[in-house]
């Protein structure tokens, strides 16, 4: 059964949420997982695409937007729709609703910003998962926390 982790950020800044997504992707990539980052819209995907190249000096996370080109074997993909069948390990989601395809993943990471609207929507998603019996974990991420 899919494990769902909620990452609750203390700060309400967009940059903190994006940085957390990148760090989660980096950690999962180093563990040899295939990751799909579900964004709320095209702008989120473009911003994260750029940030994945620059957020950490000396770090390289092979990634792409949308479906991979024929023959490409990218471990990290970003998009707004359903991911390709090759990505079933980790779903990092910024979507405001629970994606229909979440249960095909081993792990789901729900990244929740510090804003009130983000928290309200996250509570609804939390109830959705809990009411269906999914294993849930909550991680509070302070604004100053350093990830490794």
Q: For residues 71 and 78, what is the distance between their CA atoms, to the nearest angstrom? A: 17
Helix (H) or strand (E) holding 91: strand 90-93
Write out the chain's pLDDT in tens, 148 residues.
Answer: 999 999 999 866 667 899 999 999 999 999 999 999 999 999 999 999 999 988 888 778 899 998 665 446 899 999 998 888 888 999 999 999 999 999 999 999 999 988 899 999 999 999 999 999 999 999 998 865 544 4
> 94: alpha, beta or left, given left = phi > 0 and alpha = psi -120 to 50?
alpha
Collapsing DSSP states into helix, strand and coil, what is residue 37?
strand
Which token pair is 10? 């203390």
Tell which phi-psi region holds residue 101, choosing left (phi > 0), alpha (psi between -120 and 50) or beta. Answer: alpha
Q: Are 61 and 52 in contact (CB under 8 A)?
A: yes
Domains in the chain with CATH codes? 3-66+74-141 (3.40.50.10110)
Question: Which three-class secondary structure state does DSSP give residue 110?
Answer: strand
pTM of the model: 0.91
9 sits in which H/E element: strand 3-9
């Amino acid at each position: 059964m899919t494990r769902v982790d909620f990452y609750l950020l203390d700060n309400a800044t967009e940059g903190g949420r994006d940085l957390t997504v990148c760090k989660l992707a980096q950690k999962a990539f180093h563990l040899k997982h295939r990751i799909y980052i579900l964004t709320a819209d095209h702008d989120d995907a473009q911003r994260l695409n750029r940030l994945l190249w620059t957020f950490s000096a000396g770090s390289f996370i092979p990634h792409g937007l949308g479906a991979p080109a024929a023959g490409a074997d990218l471990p990290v993909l970003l998009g707004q729709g359903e991911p390709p069948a090759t990505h079933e390990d980790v779903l990092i989601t910024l979507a405001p609703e629970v994606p229909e395809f979440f249960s095909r993943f081993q792990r789901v990471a729900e990244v929740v910003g510090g804003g009130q609207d983000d928290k309200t929507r996250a509570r609804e998603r939390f109830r959705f998962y809990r009411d269906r019996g999914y294993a849930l974990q909550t991680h509070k991420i302070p604004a100053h926390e350093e990830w490794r």
